[in-house]
Amino acid sequence: MSKKEISRLEFLKAGALSTAAIGSGMLGQTFRQSQRKKSGFGDAKNVIFLVSDGMSSGTLALADLVKQRQYGEKSNWIKLYESDREYHRGLMDMASLNSVVTGSAAAASSWGSGHRINNGAVNMSPEGEEYKTICEIFRDAGKATGLVTTARITHATPAGFGINMPARGMEDEIAEQYAERGYDLLMGGGARHFSADSRGDGKDLYSVFERNGYTVARNKTEMNRATRNSKLLGLFYDSHLPYTVDHKTLSDLQSSVPTLAEMTKSALDRLNRNGNGFILQVEGGRVDHAAHGNDPAGLVYDQIAFDDAIKEVMDFTDGRDDTLVILTTDHGNANPGLSGLGSGYGDSPAMLDTIQDYRHSFEWMYGEMGYHWSDDSLSGITVKDIMDHVEYAMNTKITREEGLMLKQSFQGKYRSPFRNRQQPSGVLSGVLANYNGINFISTSHTADYVEIAAWGPGSDRIPTFVRNTALFDLMVDMADVRAYAEG
């Protein structure tokens, strides 16, 4: 064998060892973890699953940058990566059964049942087979179960952990199935799917839940006062909870609608009373909506609100070795990023800082204008009206030419090479990018491999690149509830 061949073999051997080190989770961790005893099945009494819905990697970066510049500290997610806490970091393939671009229902179902399903369904196969969900499994094993979200509680991601439904849009039916399945805690928006006044069938699900032993909370005060000895249904808004940027501006929202961090803390306090342990899913659902709407302040501040919830979980797990925490997203969305603008990209930092002065979300402004994102067009709006609304809501003076582009988009007359960018949200975000530097590639989900972090027992078993369905098996085995997963 030649010296060249020996050198090549030595190189390949070194490369294999390096790959093994990365695959075992040493990347981004202390080297002490590689010497620890591997976690065993049953080591996780509790499981906490944190989902920032629709978080592209650019969203994580933008929120961290804004938090540093506005509040003088890094995001808790990034602090985790810089800490001495033993953790795993990797990427996850979130493809659904029928597409490499996944929807939230299919994504959550991959974790909630261990199966890839078609976009739009919830824990059901194309043939109609119902897969037993992870909340049912933990419930049947005597563990507490909780779902918390800033979206409607009947929305795709929370439903993906505990519901079987052929179509995610069947939210009245999802609410009714929650009542049948008896999970311990449900908190978020979506009151319209529980009230007799707004349900299509006129059923009063509030009364059903109360008869089943639930305390019903309709605002933050009632959530805080609710007894810890009963199940809890907390519904704090008719539809999705308001965006954080609006919550920060409007005092009535601050007094009545809890933040995601406040809901998370309340959920942990309640579920931890079960001596057998619990499973809790926490979703920052409106991050996804802001990405769809290309709303930079809606996106960044809801991501920061999700980051505050991460801190509650980090505090809860400090000093404990019985809780597996998974921190991730279900898919990318719109892939926002801060562009380098100005000489030597020197204008970008100050441009990013302008969103600190935004008063409201796009959604709030649209409401003031009498427009909904699903509308084909808006009539009777003038260029000046648009300019005034943008100046008030976003604290940004746009030009008349930019106002005219927006008027054309509201009227359905604006044309762009990429037709996805012709609607008001795409045009408005493009106009504002001239002032804040943040641009989006679309208003749709993307096929990104997503960020995943984890700590606690079982985190050492996650490969650096993981398939979404593998997390179901990890949670079931680490909590030692596999016996309840059948049937």
pLDDT in tens, 150-159: 999 999 999 9
Note the pLDDT of residue 30: 37
The enclosing H or E element of 283 equals: strand 278-284
pLDDT above 70 coverage of the chain, percent = 92
- 71 and 140 in one domain? yes
For residue range 214-259, list pLDDT tens digits in order. 999 999 999 999 998 899 999 999 999 999 999 999 999 999 999 9
On whether residue 459 sits in a domain, the answer given is yes
- 344 and 329 in one domain? no
Average pLDDT, the chain: 93
CATH for 195: 3.40.720.10
Going by C-alpha positions, the residue among 446, 486, 202, 211 that lies closest to residue 333 is 446
Q: Cα–Cα distance between 137 and 481 in angstroms, integer?
A: 7
On whether residue 31 sits in a domain, the answer given is no
**SS3 assignment, position 324:** strand
For residue range 470-487, list pLDDT tens digits in order. 999 999 999 999 999 985
On whether residue 391 sits in a domain, the answer given is yes
183: which 2 tokens? 């999970």
Domain count, the chain: 2
On whether residue 20 sits in a domain, the answer given is no
For residue 205, is pLDDT > 80? Answer: yes
Q: Which amino acid, one-letter code, is at 219? A: N
105: which 2 tokens? 């229902």
- 217 and 75 in one domain? yes
- 148 and 239 in one domain? yes
Q: Confidence band (pLDDT; 50, 70, 90) for 376? A: confident
Per-residue DSSP letters for 419-487? Answer: GGG-SHHHHHHHHHHHHH-EE-S-SSEE-PPEEEEEESTTGGGS-SEEETTHHHHHHHHHTT-GGGS--
Q: Cα–Cα distance between 478 and 436 in angstroms, integer?
A: 45
Q: Confidence band (pLDDT; 50, 70, 90) for 373? A: confident
Check: CB of residue 487 under 8 Å from CB of residue 125. no
For residue range 8-29, list pLDDT tens digits in order. 334 333 333 333 333 333 334 4
For residue 80, is pLDDT > 50? Answer: yes
Check: CB of residue 46 under 8 Å from CB of residue 279. yes
On whether residue 36 sits in a domain, the answer given is no
- 304 and 241 in one domain? yes
319: which 2 tokens? 């000093």
- The angle subtended at Cα 417 by Cα 414 and Cα 420, nearest 5°, is 70
The enclosing H or E element of 162 equals: none
Check: CB of residue 128 under 8 Å from CB of residue 112. no
On whether residue 25 sits in a domain, the answer given is no
- 415 and 431 in one domain? yes
Per-residue DSSP letters for 65-123? Answer: HHHHHHHSS--HHHHHHHSSS-EEEEEEE---SS-SS--HHHHHHHHHHS----TT-BS
For residue 327, is pLDDT > 50? Answer: yes
Report CA 43 to chain centroid distance, whole Å: 26
- 360 and 244 in one domain? no
- 468 and 328 in one domain? yes
Going by C-alpha positions, the residue among 123, 168, 124, 162 that lies closest to residue 145 is 162
- 61 and 205 in one domain? yes
Residues 6+ apart with CB under 8 A from 88: 25, 29, 452, 453, 454, 455, 459, 460, 462
On whether residue 12 sits in a domain, the answer given is no
For residue 161, is pLDDT > 60? Answer: yes
* Dihedral-angle region of residue 236 (phi above 0 means left; psi in -120 to 50 means alpha; beta otherwise): alpha
Bridge-partner residues for 263, per DSSP?
none
Choose one of 418, 439, 460: the last residue of a domain: 439
Domain span at 299: 46-336+445-484
- 252 and 184 in one domain? yes
Check: CB of residue 263 under 8 Å from CB of residue 19. no
Secondary structure (H, E, C), 207-253: HHHHHCCEEEECCHHHHHHCCCCCEEEEECCCCCCCCHHHHHHCHHH
On whether residue 77 sits in a domain, the answer given is yes
- 314 and 275 in one domain? yes
For residue 131, is pLDDT > 90? Answer: yes
Note the pLDDT of residue 486: 82
Hey, how many other C-beta atoms are within 10 angstroms of the C-beta on 443? 18
Q: How far apart are the first and last CA of the chain?
A: 59
Who wins on pLDDT, 414 or 486? 414
Q: Confidence band (pLDDT; 50, 70, 90) for 36? A: low
Considering only 4-8, 134-138, 173-177, 358-362, which range has the smallest mean pLDDT?
Answer: 4-8
Query: What is the value of pTM for the model shown?
Result: 0.92
- The angle subtended at Cα 291 by Cα 100 and Cα 253, nearest 5°, is 135
- 395 and 432 in one domain? yes
Residue 422, Cβ density class (10 Å: 0-12 exposed, 13-18 middle, ≥19 buried): middle
Check: CB of residue 135 under 8 Å from CB of residue 279. yes
